Chains A and B, each alone.
Chain A
Amino acid sequence: MSIQSAVMPSPSISIIPNKAIAGGVASQLMSGDEAVAAAALDAGVRFASSYPGTPATDILESLIRYSDPKKVRCVWSINEKVAYESALAVAIAGQRSFVSMKQVGLNVAADAFMNSCPGGTNAGLVLVVGDDPECHSSQNKQDTRHYRAMSGALLLEPSDAQEAYSMTREAFLVSERFLLPIIIRLTSRTAYGCTPVQRKPADAGAATFNWPREPQRFFIVPTVSRRLFLRISKLQCEMAQWIAESAFSYRKDASRRCGKRFGILCTGIGSALSCEYLPANAGMLKVGGEPFPDDEIGSFVNAHDEILVLEEGDALLEQRARALARQGVIVRGRISGDLKPVGELQVSEIVAAISGENATNSPPPPDLPARLPEICKPCGYHKVFGALKQLSNIATPSDIGCNSLGGLPPYSVMDGVWAMGSSIGVACGLAAIGHPRIVAIIGDSTFFHAGIPPTIEAVHEAYALTILLLDNGTAAMTGGQGVAHRSSGNPIQNGIDMIRLIGSLGVARCTPFDPHKLGQDGIRDLVEQSFSEPGVKVLLYRSQCGVYSPGYFTESNPNKTRLEREE
């Protein structure tokens, strides 16, 4: 017996002609993440920075693998804001630079990013942002194109790895033409999807830097700022025209002879997802990025009877098409309800929307137990979450990283998770209104990223709260990137001393413990006891991540890391 319903139509392939899916010996299979890293290297960047986060982590990891550390300085920054600011400085000083992060990381860097656009850059500055429209591994699905609109910068969105490479190479040139940072927007599929990539000859890149003093550009007091925003505003039309004329946009109108003129309006992966299922006479406008070329979009939409809009994320292109469409032109997409309102585009719904058939006649999926992310078996987190489960009437704001797994079954001991470092900020508010049993749970990488300022506030305001700082010596959730208290490989610096750092903040106490020695009941008692004391108490879990930092902490003394012992 076999399932005989809703079989895909056999592909009638209509390849976009300007796409470089030409094979040959020179092409290699690369993911979008790898392709942008290769492009940055080939563009001659001197500096690259990032903070780890899915789906953008592989970008800097790949660049570190590809590049010579003497030629390209690659840095896992303390957070996205510092990553962006460092890259900005290099580009203003005349050397190409490159910075990557996930979509919610741009929230952290947004202050620096937004305020860097008025003055702009000198050498090429490319910001790659990895969006996660399906929330595979993120708190939210936010669409980076909204930041593009706020900043007035130019954004390019590739449809596959080859285009990710070509766009990134081109982005450095465009950045130098408009003197603005350029955003490359990847989405989970373009970040991880692999296609053959042909690289182009490398640029040498500037060997020396020149840090300018140009207060009329970079000292953005109100009078300077107003003038600079006028420049960005005037640039929008020119940039939109550049997008329309670039090799990354493509237009083919539906033939007039064949009844209803149907066309696909798309950006990013939309063209790749629909190509195989389009009737031969269908039209297509692929828009390479933003600002949207309104004239081109308007003329395409109005040359058709029916348009299907395919874009990952929010319905920005669809809104534009609806605004530009004359009466009688049908615009379909997420707003019209032809595609589901949120989440990644699914091939099945695209096929149904193109063919006009309903795709719901599949048999229901078998009733199978869900598979949730789990804490690795030997991890000391089991003891911590088991201990929290024994405590009653506690408030447990938690944070990003492996510690958030304590919010899932079988433990389910977390009250909530918001943004990087929010555990301590939320604990501050609860302490201000007098909650007696607060324990904020945060990991080491997140603490360095955004946990120190709220800790200072808690001490300063004399809040009574407990911080359970889970230090496993690595950013484990994203695959074990370095953190500030580990050696960076720099011979004069062996990493930040975590205990001295916390001590210097003036907390009531900082108690390091080894979860495997103390055990679940011991941890429970330690936390319980901390509630009876005034002020800020830091309970410092110190235990290796069995996967990414084995042997990092000494066995005999959890107060010292292996490096601290060697000193």
Chain B
Amino acid sequence: MKTNFETFNVLITGLGGQGVLLVSKAIAAAASRSRVFACRTESRGLSQRGGSVCSEVRFGPTIVAPVIGRHSADVILSLDALEAARVLSFLKPDGILLTNTHFVAPLHILSTWRNESREQEQHAALGRQLMSIFASRVEARVLDLPELAAAARCERGVNCALIGAASRYLPIAADDLRASFRAMIKPQHRKASMRAFDAALEVTPWSPYADLKTDKLPA
């Protein structure tokens, strides 16, 4: 795994309202703190209504394009397992996928399942299909983010847990990511959010960038 990078591409995905943009803003801000250049793009509008949301953060010494092509993401972070499977073709062959184990079934599928009275069965079957897609990838990390957040007494902190776990896989000093994320949280939610962040960080020990400090990054 490389620690000396030219350009690093992160793709963040999930549903409208889950906090995809918060996660990408925190990463972009932390990357900017480390004096590297960051780009971010996002889809909005109709997708705010529970649709797929995708955001890309690119950093390195010389970024120009705000979007990436297929097989170009070093890391994919996903708040929803179904959305992770949808964008998997953007991952590099040796890229890392970090995803929530849970997913929200689209409403139109759900009503079909309900009409057939097979909601739970079908939901589980789709879940198994997703896990087998992930299992075909070497570097897939599937995390029960809601459980991590709940254990940290921060039920709404699924995105906080994701970014905490992600800090192990990004070539950004964890302290920088922590600080930039903390600054984006409303003061009344900070304590709980950072608990979820730290809980996820703790259960995600492996990291290719464990020794990375801000001053080691290219200026």
Check B62–A15 contact: CB distance below 8 A. Answer: yes
Indicate which residue in A195, A368, A376, A478 contacts B82 across the interface (CB closer than 8 Å).
Answer: A368
Q: How far is the CB of B116 from chain A (nearest CB, A)?
A: 14
Closest to B91 in A: A3
Q: Are A2 and B137 in contact (CB under 8 A)?
A: yes
Q: Please classify the interface of chain B as helix (H, G, I), strand (E, B), loop, or mixed, using the class held by over half of its residues.
A: mixed
A258 on the interface (CB 8 Å rule)?
no
In whole angstroms, what is the CA distance A557 to B22 when docked? 38
B151 within 8 A of A: no
Quick check: which of B31-39, B152-160, B171-179, B183-191 contacts chain A, the rest being far away? Answer: B31-39
A410 to B138 Cα, complex, angstroms: 38
Number of A-B contacts defined by CB within 8 Å: 171
Contact B71 A8, beta carbon cutoff 8 Å = yes
Give Cα A375–Cα B69 distance, bound, in whole angstroms: 31
Q: Assess the B106–A369 pair: CB atoms within 8 A.
A: yes
| A196 and B32 contact, CB distance less than 8 A | yes
Contacts of A190 in B (CB 8 A): 66
Complex: how many Å from CA A19 to CA B64?
Answer: 10
A56 CB, nearest partner CB in chain B, Å:
10
Instruction: Determine if B6 and A195 form an interchain contact, defined as CB atoms under 8 angstroms apart.
Output: no
Q: Is the CB of A29 within 8 A of B38?
A: yes
Per-residue interface assignment for chain B, residues 76 to 98, with 1 indicating a CB less than 8 Å from any chain A CB and 0 otherwise: 00000011011011001110000
B126 contacts across to A, CB distance below 8 A: 369
The answer, yes or no, to whether B52 is at the interface (CB within 8 Å) is yes
Decide: A136 and B46 in contact? CB cutoff 8 A.
yes
A193-B40, A369-B82 known; A409+B108 contact, CB < 8 A: yes
Query: CB < 8 Å: which of B45, B93, B136 contacts A137?
Result: B45
CA A347 – CA B43 in complex, angstroms? 16
Q: Give Cα distance in the complex from A1 to B86, angstroms.
A: 18
- B-facing mask of A361-390, CB < 8 A → 1, else 0? 011011011111111100000000000000
Q: What residues of chain A lie closer than 8 Å to B72, measured between beta carbons?
A: 8, 347
Instruction: Give Cα A276–Cα B61 distance, bound, in whole angstroms.
Output: 12
CB distance A375 to B49 under 8 Å?
yes
A402 at the interface (CB under 8 A from B): yes
Given B32, B52, B82, B89, which contacts A3 in the complex, CB threshold below 8 Å?
B89
By the criterion CB–CB under 8 Å, are A373 and B46 in contact? yes
B45 touches A194 (CB 8 A): no
CB of A511 closer than 8 Å to a CB of B: no
Q: Which of B108-155 contact A (CB under 8 A)?
A: 108-109, 111, 126, 129, 133, 136-138
Kindly state whether residue B48 has any CB partner on chain A within 8 Å: yes
Q: Which residues of B contact A347 (CB under 8 A)?
A: 65, 67-70, 72
Would you give the 0/1 interface string for B13-40, flagging 1 where the beta carbon is closer than 8 Å to chain A? Answer: 0010000000000001100100101111
Complex: A413 Cα to B23 Cα, angstroms? 37
B133 touches A8 (CB 8 A): no
Indicate if A398 sits at the interface (CB-CB under 8 A). Answer: no
Report the Cα distance A195→B37, complex, angstroms.
Answer: 7
- Measured between beta carbons, the chain A residues less than 8 angstroms from B105 are 369
Most chain B CB neighbours (cut-off 10 Å) among A13, A188, A371: A371
Cα of A23 to Cα of B32 in the assembled complex, Å: 9
B65 touches A272 (CB 8 A): yes
Is A89 engaged at the interface, CB distance under 8 Å to the other chain? no
Docked CA distance A549–B129 (Å): 40
Q: With A6-B71, A8-B72, A370-B106 known to touch, is A192 a contact of B44 (CB < 8 Å)?
A: yes
Q: Does A49 contact B (CB under 8 A)?
A: no
Candidates B63, B92, B106; contact of A371 at CB < 8 Å: B106
CB <8 Å contact, A374 and B107? yes
How far, in whole Å, are A368 and B49 apart by their CA atoms in the complex? 19
Q: Is the CB of B67 within 8 A of A136?
A: no
Q: Is B7 engaged at the interface, CB distance under 8 Å to the other chain?
A: yes
| With A1-B136, A2-B93: A29-B28 Cβ-Cβ less than 8 Å | yes
21 of the cross-chain contacts (CB-CB < 8 Å) are: A3-B93, A4-B93, A6-B71, A11-B6, A21-B64, A137-B47, A160-B39, A160-B66, A193-B40, A273-B67, A276-B65, A347-B69, A347-B72, A348-B70, A350-B69, A368-B85, A369-B105, A371-B50, A372-B107, A408-B108, A410-B107
B residues neighboring A (CB under 8 Å): 6-7, 15, 28-29, 32, 35, 37-52, 62-72, 82-83, 85-86, 88-89, 92-94, 105-109, 111, 126, 129, 133, 136-138
Q: Pick the 8 closest A-B CB pairs, nearest first.
A: A137-B45, A193-B66, A54-B45, A347-B69, A409-B108, A374-B50, A373-B49, A194-B40
